[in-house]
Amino acid sequence: MTVKSVIEAVREAMREEMVADSRVMTLGEDVGARGGVFLATQGFVEEFGERRVIDTPLAEASIAGIALGLAFKGLRPIAEIQFSDFWWYAANQIIGEAARVCYGSNGVLPAPMVVRIPYGGGVRGGLFHSQNIESYLYNTPGLKVIAPSNPYDAKGLLKAAIRDNNPVVCLEHKKTYRGVRGEVPDGEYTLPIGVADVKREGADVTVISYGLALHYCLAAAEMMEDEGVSVEVLDLRTLRPLDKEGILASVRKTAKALIVHEANTTGGVGAEVSAIIGEEAFEDLDAPIMRLCGPDVPTMPFASTLEDAYMLNADKIRDALQKLAAY
Amino acid sequence: MFQTGEGASLGTEAMPLHRSLGLTDEAMLGLYAKMTLTRALDDRLWALNRQGKAPLVASCQGVEAASLGVGLAAKEDGDCFLFPYYRDMALKLVFGITPMELVIGHLGKEGDSFNGGRQFLLQGASTDRPMIQTSNVVGSNLCQSVGYAIGCKILGEKTVTLVSFGDGGSSQGECHEAMNFAGVHKAPVVFVCYNNRLAISVPQEKQMAIKDLADRAAGYGFPGRVVDGTDLLEVYQNVKAAIERAREESGGPTFLEMKVERLRPHTSDDDDTRYRSAEDLEASKGRDPLVKLRSYLTNIGVLTTSQEERIRGEAREEVNRATEEAEKAEPPDPSTLMRHVYSP
C-alpha cells in the first residue's frame, strides 16, 4: 500500500491500462505536452507518443464524437473533457449517440469509451468552473456513470471503466484531486462498476452520498458519534447503475436515510435513491427520507459568501443528521 | 475532370467516358439496372407509406447517381468503411443490402439486419457490410467517421472512411469540428455532401451565404470539389480520386460537394407545395439522374429499348418479391424491448 492523491490514482489507472493494452489511448484539450490542466496525463505523450495521446482542438463535441469513432474502430479511447462546465457541447455524442448505439444497432455495435470529466465546486470556480452535471447523465440508459470519492476507488473503477464495453462517464470531483489522499494497493486490481461501498459502519442512521460530499458526511458522522448517534456512511461510487441492493441493505439496517449531494436537489441522484427506498423499503423506515442537496440555483456562485452558502460542509450535514436521528 | 454541368463528362462517341475510366459496357448496364432498381424500390416504399404500412419514407430520388457512384468507387476500392446517411439507398444496394432488407427496415419487421426494428430504415450498424449509421441526428456521423479514420491510421491500416451527409447537416457545428480535426490529422476520410439545396423547406440561401459548400474545404486545409451529383461517371471519377488521395502519406481528406436534386418532398410526412414552386421542382426533374444515365447509354448505343424493358421488368419483379416476403415477416417480439441496452 502507498498513500496517493486522487489525481495520482487516476493517472496510474490510465497509465497501467495503456501499458497493458495498446488499444487504450487518450485525447482531449492539453493532454499532451501540458499533461492535462490537472496533470492527469503527465508524462503520457513522452511515454506513449502522439498517436495514443492526442492534443485536440478546443472543441468538445468532436472530442466525444472522435472518441466514439475510435471506439467503433476497436480502440479504447479515454476522452478528457477539461471541465464539466464545457461538456454540454459533447452531450449529443455522449447521450444522444454513444449511449444509444448498442441498443440502436440491436447489440451489433458496442461503444467502449470512457469520458473523464472533472466536476464540482468549492474551488471558487464560479458558475462555469463548478458545475455538477450528474443529474443530466445518470438517467441515461446505455450509459454508465462512476463518481469515485477516494484514490482507491478512483483507480479501481477507472480501470474497470476502461475495460468495459460500454460508454462510461467518470466524474472526478476537482476538490478531491489533491485534497483527498488515501492508500492504494501496489498491485493490480479493479473494482466492479455498480457496487456501493459502506465507508463507515453504523446502526442508527444511514447517510448516502458520493464524491467530495462523502468526506463531509464522514466528518459529520464522526461528530454524531460524540453525540451518541451511530451513523452508517454509504458511498454510491456508481451513479448508473445504482446499487439498489446496497442502498436497501443499509437502510433496512438503520431505518433512517439521509441523502447528501452537491448537485441541485430537484431531479438529482437523491431523488432516485429516495424513490428506490420509498418503493422497496417503506415498511422498514422509522422516519421520512431526507435529502440535503444543492439548492436549486444554476451553480454555486463565485463570491465566497455565496459559494459557502451553496456548498455542503460537515456542520450542515450534522444538523440534518441530528434532525433525522431525533425524529 | 472536375467540371460541373450538363454533359460535362460524357466523353466522345468514339471513346465513351466509361470505357476510358475502365468500366465495361456490361458494367454500365449493371449500374443502370441498379439505379433502375433503386428508383422502383423508392416508388414502392412511397406507396407502402401511402398504404399505411411504412410509417416514414425518405425518398432518395435525385440522389441515386451520387450515392451509386460513391458506392461503386468504394466497392471497387475494396478497403473502404462507410458512414452513410438516410438517402443512401443506392450505396447500400451496391454493398449487398437486399431489397428485402430495405423493405423490412421500412416496415419495422422482425429480421431487420441493422437495428432489430428499433430505428428508421437501415440505421444502426452492419459492420461486415461495412457501414455504421448510428442515427438520423444529421451531422452526428461526421465526427464519428473522422474518429474511425484516425483509428485506422493509428492501427496502421489502409482503410479509407467515407461519410455522407446533406447540405442541411453541413450547418451543424460538428461539421466544422469534424472537418477541422480531419484537416489537422490528415485523416484518411472523404466527406461527401449531397447538396439538394433544401434543408426540409429552408433553401440554400437561408442556410449559407456561399454558392458552393466545397469552398469551405480551403478553410480546413484540404481540397474541395464541386461535382455534378446527377452524373454517375463524374461522381465515380471524383470519389475514386478522393479515396486515392486519402490513402497517400501526404494526402488526407477531400470534400466533395455533390450537386444533387430532390425530386420528392423531404419525407413522406412533408408537403413541399407549401414552400417549393412547381417551376423549381420541374427544373429538378430536368436533372433526373436516372434519365441522364439512360440518355447517355442510349446515345452511345449501349442500352437498347429491349434491354431497357428487360431491366425495368426485372426491377419490378424484384421489388414485388421483396415486398411480398417483407410483408410476410412478423413484427419483433415485444419481449425483445429490454435487450442490448448494454453490451456484455
Q: Look at residue A152 and tell me if it is in a domain.
A: yes
- Which amino acid would we find at residue A254? T
Task: Tell me whether A298 touches chain B (CB under 8 Å).
Answer: no
Instruction: With CA atoms as reference, report the closest residue to A4 among A183, A168, A253, A179.
Output: A183
Task: State pTM to two decimals.
Answer: 0.96
Instruction: With CA atoms as reference, report the closest residue to A78 among A40, A25, A31.
Output: A25
- In angstroms, the Cα distances linking B338 to A79, A96, A166 are 28, 18, 16
Write down which residue in A140, A160, A184 finishes a domain.
A184
What confidence tier does A94 reach under pLDDT thresholds 50, 70, 90? very high
Q: What residues does each domain of chain B span?
A: 26-289+305-328
Measure in Å the smallest separation between the Cα of B338 and chain A Cα atoms. 9
Q: Mean pLDDT in chain B?
A: 94
Judged against a pLDDT cut of 70, whether residue A148 lies above it is answered with: yes
What end-to-end distance do the CA atoms of chain B give, in Å? 50
Query: Is residue A213 domain-shared with residue A174, that is, in the same domain?
Result: no
Task: Tell me whether A72 touches chain B (CB under 8 Å).
Answer: yes
For residue A201, the Cα-to-chain-centroid distance in whole angstroms is 22
In this structure, are residues A174 and A117 in contact, taking their beta carbons and an 8 Å threshold? no
**pLDDT reported for residue B6:** 45
Query: Is residue A179 domain-shared with residue A210, that is, in the same domain?
Result: no
Q: Look at residue A305 and tell me if it is in a domain.
A: yes
User: A24, A89, A93, A108: which to substitute to probe chain B, counting the most B Cβ within 10 Å?
Assistant: A108
Q: Between B121 and B295, name the one with better pLDDT.
A: B295
Measure in Å the smallest separation between the Cα of B147 and chain A Cα atoms. 4
Number of domains in chain A: 2
Query: Is residue A231 domain-shared with residue A169, that is, in the same domain?
Result: no
Q: Look at residue A120 and tell me if it is in a domain.
A: yes
Q: Look at residue A190 and tell me if it is in a domain.
A: no
Write down which residue in A133, A161, A184 finishes a domain.
A184
Average pLDDT value for residue range B66-70: 98
Average pLDDT value for residue range A19-30: 98
The DSSP line for A141-167 is: TT-EEE---SHHHHHHHHHHHHH-SS-
**Tally: H helices and E strands in chain A:** 13, 14
Q: What is the CATH number of the domain that holds A321?
A: 3.40.50.920
pLDDT tens for A37-52 read 999 999 999 999 999 9
Average pLDDT value for residue range A182-199: 97
Query: Is residue A119 domain-shared with residue A25, that is, in the same domain?
Result: yes
CATH of B26-289+305-328, one of 3.30.70.3280, 3.40.50.720, 3.40.50.970, 3.90.550.10: 3.40.50.970
In this structure, are residues B71 and B37 in contact, taking their beta carbons and an 8 Å threshold? no
pLDDT tens for A96-117 read 999 999 999 999 999 999 999 9
Q: Is B275 a catalytic residue?
A: yes
Write down which residue in A184, A205, A233 finishes a domain.
A184
Q: Look at residue A192 and tell me if it is in a domain.
A: no
Task: Tell me whether A166 touches chain B (CB under 8 Å).
Answer: yes
Q: Which one of the listed residues B262, B264, B276, B287 is annotated catalytic?
A: B262
What span, in angstroms and rounded, lies between the C-alpha atoms of A221 and A228? 10
User: Closest partner residue to B144 among A54, A72, A142, by Cβ?
Assistant: A72
Query: Is residue A171 domain-shared with residue A260, that is, in the same domain?
Result: no
Q: What is the CATH number of the domain that holds A167?
A: 3.40.50.970
What confidence tier does B10 reach under pLDDT thresholds 50, 70, 90? low
What span, in angstroms and rounded, lies between the C-alpha atoms of A116 and A170? 5
Query: Is residue A142 domain-shared with residue A202, that is, in the same domain?
Result: no
Judged against a pLDDT cut of 80, whether residue B7 lies above it is answered with: no
What confidence tier does A86 reach under pLDDT thresholds 50, 70, 90? very high
Query: Is residue A126 domain-shared with residue A257, that is, in the same domain?
Result: no
**pLDDT reported for residue B129:** 85
Which residues are A205's β-sheet partners?
A: A231
Phi-psi region at B238: left, alpha or beta (left = phi > 0; alpha = psi -120 to 50): alpha
pLDDT tens for B225-252 read 999 999 999 999 999 999 999 999 899 9
Query: Is residue A315 domain-shared with residue A221, that is, in the same domain?
Result: yes
Query: Is residue A50 domain-shared with residue A139, that is, in the same domain?
Result: yes
In this structure, what C-alpha cell is assigned to residue B5?
A: 454541368
Positive or negative: CA dihedral A290, A296, A301, A304: negative
In this structure, are residues A288 and A299 in contact, taking their beta carbons and an 8 Å threshold? no
The DSSP line for B194-233 is: EE-SEETTEEHHHH-S-S-GGGGGGGGTS-EEEEETT-HH
Task: Tell me whether B174 touches chain A (CB under 8 Å).
Answer: yes
In 10 A of CB A326, how many CB atoms? Answer: 8
Which structural domain, as residue segments, surrounds residue A228? 197-326
User: Closest partner residue to A108 among B127, B148, B184, by Cβ?
Assistant: B127
pLDDT tens for B155-173 read 999 999 999 999 999 999 9
Average pLDDT value for residue range B211-218: 98
Judged against a pLDDT cut of 60, whether residue A253 lies above it is answered with: yes
Judged against a pLDDT cut of 60, whether residue A82 lies above it is answered with: yes
**pLDDT reported for residue B11:** 57
- Which amino acid would we find at residue B206? K
**pLDDT reported for residue B14:** 65
What span, in angstroms and rounded, lies between the C-alpha atoms of A192 and A189? 10
Query: Is residue A131 domain-shared with residue A219, that is, in the same domain?
Result: no
Instruction: With CA atoms as reference, report the closest residue to B326 among B101, B156, B127, B7.
Output: B101
What span, in angstroms and rounded, lies between the C-alpha atoms of A150 and A197? 12
Judged against a pLDDT cut of 90, whether residue B12 lies above it is answered with: no
Q: Is A129 a catalytic residue?
A: yes
* DSSP label of A127: G
